[in-house]
Every structure is written in structure tokens, then in C-alpha cells.
Amino acid sequence: MRVVILGSGRGTNAEAILGAQSAGKLGRAHVVHLFSDQPEAGILALGPRFGVAADYVDPAPFKTKLEGEGEDRFIAAIRACAPDLVVLAGFMRVLKPGFLNAFEGKIINLHPSLLPSFPGLDAVGQAFRRGVKIVGCTVHYVTVDVDGGPILDQASVRVENGETAGSLEEKVHRLEYALLPEVIARLSER
């Protein structure tokens, strides 16, 4: 299964996937390309480290969504990789129907909450402010409904007394680093 990863930031979840691949724990999946919408994103530095192609794609003209010319550039770049799966690992843009239709049924996302609770930005902060006792992360298929696609799997952890927003975020990240590679491995065996 050919996998393309999209990310906007440090690339810690992409690194977890690539680490699982290096350790032989990604099933029949193989990451073939990393793409970012940020020219200086840390995810791009992972390419040389793991022997995977990594490229910046200009997302213009919009800052928070992928639409228009930027969407066309991303679609062309990803299609050239012939992916079986497109993984959003910290890709901070709303995807529009053109992109979703181009890779229908092939896009998954990692979200730092137990969906359907706390969709959107700052999910861990939302959960912390609400005082929930269980937090976690979700891997789901991407649809036109932001953070509303069918859920593939979830992982959770209890919020301890004295927890801070920062410590809670670290716990959720640790869950993400395990869950996302596991889901990709399972999908590769289908």
C-alpha cells in the first residue's frame, strides 16, 4: 500500500509512522512521499533521514483551506505518487470537495480528541477547559464534514488530578504516535 503523508508542522506523527516503517511495523504499507504546505516545516527534514521524498507544495492563494490553484497543485503532486492512502498528520488546512473527490475513500486524518467530542482547532485545550476525565485521539476517514468522517479507531487516557493543559497534550501525543501507525498497518492488510 503506497502512502503519502501531508503535514504542516514539526512532523512528529509522520516521524512515528516512518519509525514504525523502519522497524517493520507498518504492515504492507510503505511511505512513498511527504508533502507540506509550509516551506520550513519540520516534516520536510524527515525525508532525507528516512530515505523518503519530501517536498513543499505552494498552497496559495488561501491561508486556512486548500482550494483553487493550491488545491490543483496538491492534487497533481499527490496523484503523481499513485497513493493508496493519503494520511493527514498535522495538515492544518480544510480540504474542499475537489481534493476529497480526487482521493475519495483514501484520506485519513488524526485528530487529538475522542470524536465526535471537540472537533476543530485546540481540541486538547477544549477538553481541558471542559474538565473531562478521559481524553484521547481519533483516526478517521476524511469527508466534507470537518472531523466528521467515519471513525477507524480511537485511543484514550485518563486525566489525572493536577494535570495541566501541557501535560495532557503530551499524553495525547503519545497516544497518537502509537495509534496512527497501527491503523495504517491494519488498513494495509485489508
User: For the chain, which domains are there?
Assistant: 2-188 (3.40.50.170)
In this predicted model, what pLDDT tens digit does every residue of 54-74 receive, in sequence order? 999 999 999 999 999 999 999
Distance CA 10, CA 45 (A): 9
Residues marked as catalytic: 111
Angle, nearest 10°, between helix axes 42-50 and 12-22? 10
Distance CA 178, CA 20 (A): 9
pLDDT of residue 189: 94
β-bridge pairing 94-95 and 65-66: parallel
Q: Are 107 and 91 in contact (CB under 8 A)?
A: no
Residue segments in the chain with a per-residue pLDDT below the cut of 70? none
Distance CA 3, CA 106 (A): 10
Query: Coil, helix or strand for 175?
Result: helix
Distance CA 68, CA 87 (A): 21
The cell numbers describing 45, all together, are: 527534514
If you search the block for the grid coordinates 516545516, which residue do you land on?
A: 41
pLDDT of residue 190: 85
pLDDT of residue 42: 97
pLDDT of residue 108: 98
